[in-house]
Structures are given as C-alpha cells and as structure tokens.
Structure 1
C-alpha cells in the first residue's frame, strides 16, 4: 500500500468529521476540530497522518497490552481467516479456537470459574452476566432476586443495562437508564475519605454500606453486586486493603452473587492474568473480561461463571426449552484465535513478570510528580495509574471545571509526543505492557513539563 499523502489525510479527516459518530464525542468542539487521524503504529507508539510519533500512554483504551504491530498476532489472525473466518456457535456447532480459548480461560481463571460465554466486548459481557444471574435465580425459584448493586464512579459499559450499572453520573446526562433495577453505593476512594478518618474505619464504613443496602432492598430481592477490582474510568480508584474480600463475605451472607468486572484489570495490566485472586485475594462468582483478552487486535469479551452457576443454568427450564441468549458473533473464531495467540505471546514474553517489575518503577516515577503544586494524588497499581489535579493540596479542593485541567495537560503532552487520557481534573495512564524503563522516563518527564506549562496557563487565565 502506498504511503498516504497530505491530501489523502485531509480527505479522511473530513470524511470522519462528516460521517463518523465517535463514542464519547464532545460536540462543543468536534464539529470544528474533528479528530486526529492515526495512520500507523509500532510497539508502544502510534503515528498520525503527518508522520508524527506519539508514545501511547493509554494503550488504545486500556487494551493494547502486547503492543502495536505484532507480526505473530497478525499472522495468527490471517491464518484463521484462511481456515474458517466464521461459523455460528449456536446449538451444535463450535470452532477450534472458541473451544480451545474457553479451556484456556478456565485454566487461568481462579477457583471453579470454568465456563465461558463469549460476546464482543465488556459491555456485552456485563449484560450477559445480568441475564445469566436473573435466569439462575429463576431456575432456583427465587424469582424476586433481581436487584443489582454497584458503586458510584464504577464503570461497566455503555449498552443500556451496563450503563445503568455504571455509576459515573456524568455519563448519564441526557440519557435514560434503568433506575428501578440498579442501586448505587458510594465510591471507596481513600483519597476522598473524611479528614482524620483512618483507612480501616473508612473500609469498615464502605463494607457496612453494602450490607445496609442489601438489607434496605431485602436480601430476597438482591441478585448481584458488580465491582471492578480497581475502578477504571471512574478515576482509577484502588479500594482500601481487604475491601473486596469483606464485600464478598457480605454477599455470601445474603446469597448475593459477586461479579468482578475485570474488563480492564485482566490479562496483565496489574501483573496477573486475572487480578481478583492474585492481586486482591478473593474469588468471585463471575468474572467479566474483554480489552486485553485480544490486546485490542479484535473485538472479544467473555463472561466466566462458576461451576455452581453453570450447574443450575445448564438444566432446561421447561420441556423443549433452550438457553435463549447469545449473539451472531459469540465465539467468533478469528477473535478467539487472536485471544489464544495473545495469551501465548504474553506467557512466552513473561509480560506479567515484566509488568510487576516495570510497574513498580512506573508507580515510583509517577509519584515524583507529587512535588508539583497541583498534583494532589498519584494512584493506581502497575500499568493502571491516575494523576488527580487539585487547586489546594491541603483541602483537596478542585480547580474550576471550566479550566478543563485534564484536557490542558493532555494537549500539552500530545504536542510533546505523548498521549494521556483526560478525565475532567484527572489524567489516566494505561500504556502497552511492553513499556521499557526508557519509555517510562520519557513519559514521566513529558508529563512533568506538561503539568508545569499547564500551571502557567492556569495562573495566566485566573484559575490559580
């Protein structure tokens, strides 16, 4: 393929602006500025239509774990396309990659989570979990157990049900959600706990809040609790030590199923294939995953359920009835081939070991930014990090939202060859897992310079 010209890129930019409705578009600026066109990539870098290289500090969208342009992955995808690009996995058919990947996921998942249902992303994985959970309790004759509990600032997807479970209130503006079925408890954000409160007391309070909500709704009515091990799009919130294990105990006490949303945390981002048990010492009833499952090379998600749940839902609910849930692309063989190859590459490259090693360095280097006057918190683990910017480090008061401080920092980073994700007053980092020490040094130095320039801008514009 010939190299695109500047006129080609201008045409693409115009076509995109005229016809492509992007997810999470800010229409107040998009109709003027359009989108940056990305035309190429290489390991941890993406390259725009003008040939400028950027270190990708967000891994596409939490997901390009093995890095860009992996030839082995490309060949595995191409080979599967040549063999059998698609066949329905409904009923009595399967394909080799779908079966093999299910077995591999069962091997990697903790406890007795041995059964896999495929979709095409994290939102669908969480929607599937809800349908399965309701079906499960119907099969047990507990038809009132329908209510779902999740957390403010938790993110679980953008399909109707998944967005209803999502507790990021900003994402609900102007849209409808299912309010009778879903209930939110508060975010377990240690940085925002009341002044003088210990982490232990804060954890006690948050665990008790879950139990109180179950009792308020009635244990016979509550079906499941959805929780990310580390909350991603809500600001990379790491709950206090023991939180997950204790909330699981509460769920067990009242017969509530625990869904661990590992759409972001699985497949190496925290240095483990799955983080629930290995990082946080708990085994949920269901794990949902996507993103890093194929390192973003193809769409694929999975809902992994326990033997106990499978035993109930795998019995016909009536004579002649079948399990009527699924999608045209459930178990898509090319996507599953990508998932298998992705895991093989990760294991051979020992990427989880690399993340545990480099992740510690990444955390420590990012924390050096705490000496900057607006950096209030640097949090997260390994290759899943967040910088929270504030007007006053003592009171933790926020900068005026009109300043769009996260966007300012991201813009300055981009001008210097680094892409970071703005989230209101925060900036999120979730780079490819192949990042080296040299990459990290560049990333942190660029962030420092960009935050320093942003501080000057904020003072000039009267926000500080």
Structure 2
C-alpha cells in the first residue's frame, strides 16, 4: 500500500523537497514520501505517528547492541569533551585510536598485524584496492593489478568499491565497473548449480572457473580476490560446502591476495566473531565496518597482514609518505564508541547470544520452507533470508518474485516489522541483543504479513 501524499510543510513534504535519498527510486519517492523514524530503543524504532516497529534488519545490518544504548551515548559525549577531533597524519595519534588498532589486531586472524581506519566500508574497500596496487608496485610488479570479485557481491558504492560490487543496480547509469575489475559466478547453489550437482561438486566447479579466469588473464596480472564470507546485500547467500577451502587453494597457488569483506559478517553476525571464523578463511586483508560501532558513529577499518604492511611501508619510504588517508581516519569519537561497543559485545556475550539463539531463529525461518510461495530459506547465526518462488509469484499475479517480495516487505511494515526486500529474498538481520521472546514476536508479525501475501 502506498503511503499517503505528504501534507504541505510537513516533515515528509520537506524531505521530498530537499533530501536526495540513497538507494531509492527518486521519482517514486516524490509520490509516496518517506517513513520518518524519530526514536529507537532496544530492537524497536518508532515513527513520527508513534507506531513501533521491530527493526528486523538492525538498521542496515549494523546496530548490534540495539538502539538507545546509554553507554555508547555517554562514551561519545565523554570523548567529545576530552578530544572531539584529531587526525593521524604525519606521525600524529591519540590514545583511543591506538587502543582500537591494538584491539583489532589482537582479535582478528593471526597473520593480520596493522589496522588502518576509514569512515565507511566503501572507503575501507577502496583503501584495500589502493593498498594492493601500492603493494605490487613496491614489489616491482606493476602489471599485477586486476581485481576479482563475484556477481551479486556487495562491497560498497564508491567508484572502486562499486566496481567490486556485482549488482547491476550499482553499475547501471554509473559507467561501472571500471576496467580491470573482473567478476566470477555467485556461489548460490539454488540458482547457479547444475541439476543434481552437490554442494561440493558445485564448489569445485566454481574454483575451477576462478582458476580458468586467472590463467586466461595471466596470474601475473591478478592482484586480489575480494569476497564476503557470507554474501549479505546480494541476498543472504551462504557459500556451499568446501567453497572457501577450494577458493583459497587457487589464490595461494597463484600468489593472489585474499580480502575478506566482513562489513556485514563481522562482530558476531554469523554466530562467531567473524565470518572468517565461521567459514575457515585466512585472509591477507580483512575489511570491517557497521557493527564495529553498532553504527552509532561512522567508522570503517582494514587490518592487513605483515607482508602487505612491509611492502607498503617500503613504498612509503621510497615515495616520502603513504599518500592516502582521510580527515576522519581514526576519528576520536568514532573509535571511542567502537571500543565501548566491543566492550559491550564481550561483557554481554552477544556473539554467544547469536550462536545460542540461532536455532530458534532458524526454527521460525525454516518453518516457511514448505510454503507454496517459498523457494528456499537460508542463513547463519542471526542473519537469514526467505526467497520467494518465481513460479508461485507469477501464478499469484505478481510480475515476478521481486515484486512479490517488495509487497511482502510493505505488508510486514504494516504489521510493525521492518525487513529488507533484496530482489526475490526477504532478509532478516536483527540486533544481536534480541531475545528468544522477541524472535518469536518478530516472526509472528512476519507470519501475519506472509499470510496476507499468500491470501
């Protein structure tokens, strides 16, 4: 159901008049206006009419500790009073950024030794690309620059990160991807596997596809492979059994760096601290954002291996400086919030909470697997997706499964639940603080919406 047209001079009307929205059909927005969220508490947010919603996507996959966490508010205010801003350029630092760098190195895989800070995941992926090019130049390999990612991947929307991303909506109209960015198949068994092909056989074929591309392009031209351990914005795509083991073997064979994009997976979402832990990945670079601060402050980071750092350090000495960085790199308020957020994750065992509640979450999610409208349910930890059947959607009068999923998200919103329609998949990613009772209530609201759609 479309929202009513905004009233003149209302907040909604002013939004339509002045605010250019990201990830939005702007002409449609002119017709329907915004949903305006004014407050948040725990797993709930409240709109400007006073209606409460369960935030079933944790904002944008990111509010781990829930809304209104006073400790994060207090820590930000304390840091603002003490040192509201400083930078890390030209041998400068401040205590909070040192503490967070040390903490990230300690908690990420053993080979990762140095942390660099950005304002977002997109900037972190851009930085990883530039650092990899710089690394290969420092090693005297100027031709080793091409980057491989996957179709349906999401790595951000800046020019380079947007080229990594494998979604047409982020390429169309922008002249992306740039040259030198290559894409291989999405590891989605439901759609990409051949009839009767097991997960292991599918994974082996994808590893063969990757190696064939590397050999065709020339291993001495391929610099890195970027991948989300579990693909998020591409539709909650879980890799098939043995996939990451086989992919890593190909990359190591041809001296190609592996970048694990943990922007959505990281800090507990899959039921382990990182998706790399869940899927057995040993990266050369790990990219972080979102749940690092529960999105209370913008922050991204990448943690790099010793060999990558050593080459970059040599290059910086040769050139006089590592000529990259942002005004907000390691912003004191953002990194202070991150430190407090990580304390909360540890003290309340929210990573363990995701693992403990995952069976309850999937008891509900997988309960839809037998419904006529459903093609598949999937996920890990506290992230999941319900993919609607194209055949059932068209039989029900929708143009396609994506249209049915959009309608399902609208109905869920009417029932007091915010989820994300990603193509044909309804995505769930609640705050890590959610309780068993709240999971039951979230799916009760979704069930009412689904029954309305099916009817």
Fold agreement, TM-score > 0.5: yes
CA distance in 1, matches of 2:123, 2:282: 22
Aligned residues: 449
2:210 alignment counterpart: 210
User: Residues 33-88 of structure 1: CA distance to partner in whole angstroms, max 9, x if unpaired?
Assistant: 11101000100000001111000000000000010000011000000000001012
User: Residues 74-132 of structure 1: CA distance to partner in whole angstroms, max 9, x if unpaired?
Assistant: 00000000000101210111111111000000010012212111000110010000000
Query: For residues 61-140 of structure 1, what are the structure 2 equivalents within 5 Å?
Result: 61-140=60-139
Give the drift of 1:201.
1.1
Query: For residues 42-441 of structure 1, what are the structure 2 equivalents within 5 Å?
Result: 42-192=41-191, 193-276=193-276, 278-317=277-316, 319=318, 321-392=320-391, 400-401=399-400, 404-441=403-440
CA distance in 1, matches of 2:281, 2:390: 37
Which deviates the most, 46-55 or 192-201? 192-201
Give the drift of 1:401.
3.0
CA distance in 2, matches of 1:30, 1:404: 17
CA distance in 2, matches of 1:272, 1:314: 32
Query: Which ranges in structure 1 are unaligned for 5 or more consecutive residues?
Result: 1-6, 457-464
Give the drift of 1:319.
4.8
CA distance in 2, matches of 1:316, 1:25: 41
Give the drift of 1:28.
3.7
Give the drift of 1:318.
5.7
User: Residues 171-199 of structure 1: CA distance to partner in whole angstroms, max 9, x if unpaired?
Assistant: 21211114421000011101122221111
Q: CA RMSD in A?
A: 2.1
Q: 1:303 to 1:43 in 2, by over 3 A?
A: same
CA contact (8 A) 1:113 1:304 kept: yes
User: Residues 371-411 of structure 1: CA distance to partner in whole angstroms, max 9, x if unpaired?
Assistant: 22101111111111111001447x99996338711111111
CA distance in 1, matches of 2:8, 2:367: 39
CA distance in 2, matches of 1:360, 1:308: 40
Which deviates the most, 311-320 or 398-407? 398-407
Q: 1:273 to 1:451 in 2, by over 3 A?
A: same
Normalised TM-score (structure 1): 0.93
User: Residues 262-283 of structure 1: CA distance to partner in whole angstroms, max 9, x if unpaired?
Assistant: 000001111222220x211121
Normalised TM-score (structure 2): 0.95
Q: 1:397 to 1:205 in 2, by over 3 A?
A: farther
